[in-house]
Chain A
Amino acid sequence: MIFNKDSWKEIFDTIKKNKLRTFLSGFTVAIGILIFIILFGLGNGLQNSFGKFFTDDKVNTIRLYPSSTTIPYRGYESNRRIKFTNSDLIDFKEKFNEKIEDIVVRNSRYFQIKYKERANNYSVRAVSPGHQEAELTIIMKGRYLNEGDITNRKKHVVIGRLVADDLFKNEDPIGKYIFGSGHSWKVVGVFQDEGGDREERNLYVPYSTMQKIQKNNDEINQMIVIYDKNMSYDQSLLLEKELESYIKEKKFISPDDNRGVYISNTGEEQENSRQFASVLSIIISFIGIGTLVAGVIGISNIMVFVVKERTKEIGIRKAIGATPNSIIAMVLQESIFITMISGYLGLIVALIILNAIGDNLMAKYFISNPYIETSNAVWATIILIFFGALAGYLPARKAAKIKPIIALRDK
């Protein structure tokens, strides 16, 4: 019956001649799918922006900043300033060799940079090559700093996209020399950063070079420990504790001193953001399921109404020889056909709308690149079609069972 060409012809006739009914049920399904996909997509977009917000820096890092002690310890007075040096870096690396991937140096400075007649003040970060990974810096042109730059204390610089825009306008900066802090620096690369404009106004130079030109010191202001990204949050907390006690012992800081060395674990931020993201996804799922349920109720109502409206017709058909099964098949085929076509239309329109939205809502509503997984969209459509069919089947079966003489009395 289902694959009978003639029964399809009969159904197309019915659909063509009952435009309002067809429109009502089709519209309900199309709107249901449309709203579901758009809401779900926007929710995903919100999650996207949220994710972007937290992917500026690499998440599996622990930052170490020396500061001043507050408790006297082992013969040292309080308020002693703690310093990290190049030899500390070597010791740390040796001690934690197995648990970490790298320890990166960052000494931040701020001074005027000049190119020809153009000049501006920028933050200059004196770093080791591993800093690229810790900050997720993306090279647009040229290269990042390398070990050779560190060892040979080269006056090389990697400049941010906006620095290049400011100083070089349309010129190619690679190989040019800029002037800052009393020295000339050769530009070897231009970078961009997901972190946004502020990050792209930085310059990176080798920390060894900076130490040399600043009275040949060996001080390190900040170390960034990059640990294995497969490490769990709890494991990273443990590593943090180990680092803290090791440094405190090495630098003669009281274990009870909350200062002396400041340690911050980006894993913690990640944990927070992960929790927020999971709450967000629960809310999104809730909205999605809610819309779908509303859609199912909508299509069910329409189907009950449609079958009710056709009770008399069903009676007539039965009186002239339609079997109960052929009645059920007729109602089901029609409803499935309409819901499939309109469900598909709703799906396509919704995807087009989502695509058109793109990043347009980012500035105002914090929604970027809304999307929906194809599988989710398809499942939602299948669910609506299934419940549409079920909602049609139940009253159709009831109507098919009614004695024709009773169905015929229906006005």
Chain B
Amino acid sequence: MIEIKELNKSYPIGNGSLHVLKGIDLKIDEGELVAIMGSSGSGKSTLLNIIGMLDNYDSGSYKLDNVPIKNLDETKAAKYRNKFLGFVFQSFNLINYKTALENIALPLYYQGVSRLERRKTALEYLGKVGLADWAEHLPSELSGGQKQRIAIARALASQPKVLLADEPTGALDSTTSEEVMDLIKQINKEGKTILVVTHEHDIANMCKRIITLKDGIIMTDVKKNK
């Protein structure tokens, strides 16, 4: 599903540059649940941004579902994001003036799905994350855990190939974190490929595979056998 070879990325800093990713080789198959771990500055967020087409890379190659992703303009990147990827953020990033249902339906709007169809699909995913009764509530009326579940439903609504979660439990207490991770695991069980960036070991341990980054290179890549 994801194929990365010799990936390099550096940011210009003053006169020199900061080499953030130093030749990453990574292959993730369909249906995997992968945690990317590392301390801050290890390059884990940069890697996720590149996978999520939110950032460009300097050299190497990156294929998503056998489609080479390189030097995309914003319009194309937006279309690929919409088609291939679903995002879950630490700070939820729901649109505050839209109801839970409207937030979930929004990616479908950008896919050109009709209004009626959008509503139907959104309701379906709302039920899937267990918040069917909260359809007409605004994000400000929801708890952190509920917001994150809405965000996950939104990420799934466009039926992406890969779900990318950047510290999805970073703003949640441990009980709620576990609930959200249970949801993520359940979605994975249904066959979705999921990448979770985290710095918490408990969260990483709930995944099937843990990749640890340090100073821009992959230190360990452990697959758990259950």
| Closest Cβ–Cβ distance, residue B156 to chain A (whole Å) | 11
Residues in chain B near residue A325, CB distance under 8 A: 75
A17 at the interface (CB under 8 A from B): yes
| Closest Cβ–Cβ distance, residue B98 to chain A (whole Å) | 7
A319 touches B49 (CB 8 A): no
Starting from the known contacts A319-B54, A322-B78, A323-B78, 11 additional A-B residue pairs (CB-CB under 8 Å) come to: A10-B109, A17-B97, A315-B93, A316-B94, A318-B74, A318-B81, A320-B87, A320-B155, A320-B158, A321-B82, A323-B79
B186 at the interface (CB under 8 A from A): no
Bound-state Cα–Cα, A313 to B75, Å: 17
Chain A 355-411 interface residues, beta-carbon cutoff 8 Å to B:
400-401, 403-405, 408
Those 8 A-B pairs whose CB atoms lie nearest each other, nearest first: A321-B82, A321-B110, A17-B97, A405-B54, A323-B78, A320-B107, A323-B75, A324-B74
> Which of B83, B98, B107, B109 touches A6 (beta carbons < 8 Å)?
B109
| Closest Cβ–Cβ distance, residue B88 to chain A (whole Å) | 10
Bound-state Cα–Cα, A10 to B97, Å: 12
Residues in chain A near residue B49, CB distance under 8 A: 405
Sample 6 A-B pairs with CB under 8 A, ordered by A number: A17-B98, A319-B52, A320-B81, A321-B83, A321-B110, A325-B75
Residues of B in contact with A, size category: 20 to 34
Chain A 303-335 interface residues, beta-carbon cutoff 8 Å to B:
312-313, 315-326
Bound-state Cα–Cα, A322 to B74, Å: 10
Bound-state Cα–Cα, A188 to B190, Å: 107
Bound-state Cα–Cα, A373 to B109, Å: 45
A18 at the interface (CB under 8 A from B): yes
| Closest Cβ–Cβ distance, residue B225 to chain A (whole Å) | 34
Across the interface, name the chain A residue whose C-beta is closest to B99.
A17
Which applies to chain A's interface (DSSP): helix, strand, loop or mixed? helix
Residues in chain B near residue A321, CB distance under 8 A: 78-79, 81-83, 107, 110-111, 158
B95 at the interface (CB under 8 A from A): yes
B74 touches A401 (CB 8 A): yes
B136 at the interface (CB under 8 A from A): no
Across the interface, name the chain B residue whose C-beta is closest to A320.
B107
B: residues with CB less than 8 A from A are 49, 52, 54-55, 74-75, 78-79, 81-83, 86-87, 89, 93-95, 97-98, 102, 106-107, 109-111, 114-115, 154-155, 158
Residues in chain A near residue B111, CB distance under 8 A: 321
B interface footprint on A148-179 (CB within 8 Å = 1, 0 otherwise): 00000000000000000000000000000000
Given known contacts A403-B54, A404-B54, A408-B89, A319 and B81 CB-to-CB distance under 8 angstroms? yes
Bound-state Cα–Cα, A71 to B94, Å: 100
Residues in chain A near residue B115, CB distance under 8 A: 6, 9
A234 at the interface (CB under 8 A from B): no
Q: How many residues of A contact B (CB 8 A)?
A: 27
Most chain B CB neighbours (cut-off 10 Å) among A321, A326, A400: A321
A14 at the interface (CB under 8 A from B): yes
Bound-state Cα–Cα, A14 to B86, Å: 23
Residues in chain A near residue B155, CB distance under 8 A: 320
A13 at the interface (CB under 8 A from B): yes
> Which of B55, B87, B97 touches A319 (beta carbons < 8 Å)?
B87
A319 touches B79 (CB 8 A): no
Bound-state Cα–Cα, A322 to B115, Å: 17
> Which of B78, B82, B97, B102 touches A18 (beta carbons < 8 Å)?
B97
Given known contacts A320-B87, A321-B81, A321-B158, A326 and B110 CB-to-CB distance under 8 angstroms? yes
Residues in chain A near residue B106, CB distance under 8 A: 317, 320
Residues in chain A near residue B114, CB distance under 8 A: 6
A323 touches B74 (CB 8 A): yes
| Closest Cβ–Cβ distance, residue B104 to chain A (whole Å) | 10
Residues in chain B near residue A323, CB distance under 8 A: 74-75, 78-79, 110
Bound-state Cα–Cα, A261 to B156, Å: 102
Bound-state Cα–Cα, A401 to B81, Å: 16
Bound-state Cα–Cα, A404 to B155, Å: 15
Given known contacts A10-B109, A320-B154, A403 and B55 CB-to-CB distance under 8 angstroms? yes
B79 touches A316 (CB 8 A): no
